[in-house]
Amino acid sequence: MVHIGYYVLLMDHIFHMPKIQRPLSPYAADAVFLLGQLIRKARIERKLKAVDVTDRAGISRGLLRRIETGDPGCTIGAVFEVAAIVGVRLFDTDQTALSKAQTALSKAVETNREIMTLLPKSVRSPRIEADDDF
């Protein structure tokens, strides 16, 4: 009986190994965080509920939350799909805007952080008032 328990413990360790945290440059961390902010802002401005976006994208609500909080471990395909659904343009043809480095990105992150504090924490369906006028 001891051998079976050891085998189960060993298999559990093999299949549930912790993720390795890759180092991330400050620029990449800011870029991921900014993209998450832009996605969340666009979703809220378009009054899209999280469940609607996740259903359209075919992802879990947890993954959407990770995307919107700027988790760099999310798959790029899922991030791009959510961005397309909420209307965030990923690539601009203006090369000068793309070539701006760390300072412009940091400034945009800070500006969006201020905007995000003004937005509601969640999007809810409007209340339907009962028509009790007979």
Model pLDDT for residues 50-98, shown as the tens digit of each residue: 999 999 999 999 999 999 999 999 999 999 999 999 999 886 645 555 5
Assess whether pLDDT exceeds 90 at residue 46: yes
Q: What pLDDT, on a 0 to 100 scale, did the predictor assign at position 94?
A: 53
- What torsion, rounded to 10 degrees, do the Cα atoms 25, 67, 80, 112 define? -70
Structure tokens at 46: 């378009």
Average pLDDT over residues 15-22: 61
Q: Domains (ranges, CATH) in the chain?
A: 23-117 (1.10.260.40)
Contact 26, 72 (CB under 8 A): no
Q: What is the pTM of this model?
A: 0.61
